[in-house]
Amino acid sequence: MSDYVTIFDASKYISLLDNTARKSGLLFRMGENFEEYADITDRIVGKARTDPNFRPDCSQLDAGRAFWIVGEDRAGKVAHVQALRVDDLTATNLARHLESLKAFYANPKSLAGSGSSCICRAPTAQRITRKVAYHGDIWLREDFRGQGLPRTFAGIAFGLAWVKWSPDFIYALVPTWSVEKGVADQYGYLHGEANGAILSLPDRGIEEDDWLIWLTRGELSRLIKVTVAKTLEPSAFRHTPSRRS
């Protein structure tokens, strides 16, 4: 099967996953206004505070370079959030991007607090370059867990990222417990390495040692292609001769 993906393939892929989520009672909307997103996420009980990556007072989140997805239940209450941004790492790589703190702050020298640091020991991060999308701030309300929804909402994020940016890589940073309990696997990423971001942001109370998980553009294209192909009825390929009078 060819890895070539059209906008129609990606649209079908997103639609299929959106329909799956709707059957579970989760209705998605998306936006690019991160002032609005920060307001939404700051009011969610039980969710960790959104990191600087997706806070407009810390990062440059221009329209077209970042977007968020909010899932609401049938009563209109927030049940899920996630966000994505794209960075041009053509002149650098992900390891240097993380360690410079530019993954977290538009201007680390003026915005990062005293003692802030990040160490990346994941070997592959040095080979992740060019157009790179970051997928993070993922949260799902407890009553929606255990239904297989992580692969669904992550897939929608992947599809939208492909449509908007067609990134060379898409990655996430997840805690060790998420990997050990198999939660990270549910998102659909194919690769993972420990010590992707040993992050210390003392002024924000952040002390983390996260895994780096990622997909390449080719792998994302195959995921979209295979998923869409599985939904096609065999009859769609059958030729029915026309009758002549």
For 18-38, the pLDDT digits (tens) are 999 999 999 999 999 999 999
How far from the centroid of its chain's Cα atoms is residue 235's Cα? Answer: 35
Residue 243 φ/ψ, nearest 5 degrees: -90, 140
Tokens of 90: 């053509």
Residue 242: band (very low, low, confident or very high) from pLDDT cuts 50, 70, 90: very low
Q: Across residues 172-182, what is the average pLDDT?
A: 95
Q: Among residues of the chain, what percentage have pLDDT more than 70? A: 93
Residue 231: band (very low, low, confident or very high) from pLDDT cuts 50, 70, 90: confident
Instruction: Note the pTM of the prediction, 2 decimals.
Output: 0.93
- Extended strands (E) in the chain: 27-31, 66-72, 78-89, 117-119, 130-140, 169-175, 191-201, 206-216
Q: Are 167 and 133 in contact (CB under 8 A)?
A: yes
Q: Are 104 and 61 in contact (CB under 8 A)?
A: no
Residue 235: band (very low, low, confident or very high) from pLDDT cuts 50, 70, 90: very low
Q: Across residues 82-97, what is the average pLDDT?
A: 98
Alpha-carbon distance values, 3 to 28, 73, 91, 223 (Å): 28, 35, 27, 9
Q: Across residues 174-179, what is the average pLDDT?
A: 95
Alpha-carbon distance values, 185 to 17, 143, 211 (Å): 17, 20, 12
CA 60 – CA 47 distance, rounded (Å): 23
SS3 label, residue 56: coil
Nearest to 164 by CA among 74, 54, 47, 83: 83
* Opening angle at CA 62, ends 102 and 197, nearest 5: 25
For position 7, what pLDDT does the model report? Answer: 94
CA 41 – CA 49 distance, rounded (Å): 7
For position 2, what pLDDT does the model report? Answer: 62
| Average pLDDT for the chain | 93
- Expressed in angstroms, the distance from the first to the final Cα of the chain is 39
pLDDT, tens only, 109-161: 999 999 999 999 999 999 999 999 999 999 999 999 999 999 999 999 999 99
* Opening angle at CA 213, ends 210 and 216, nearest 5: 155
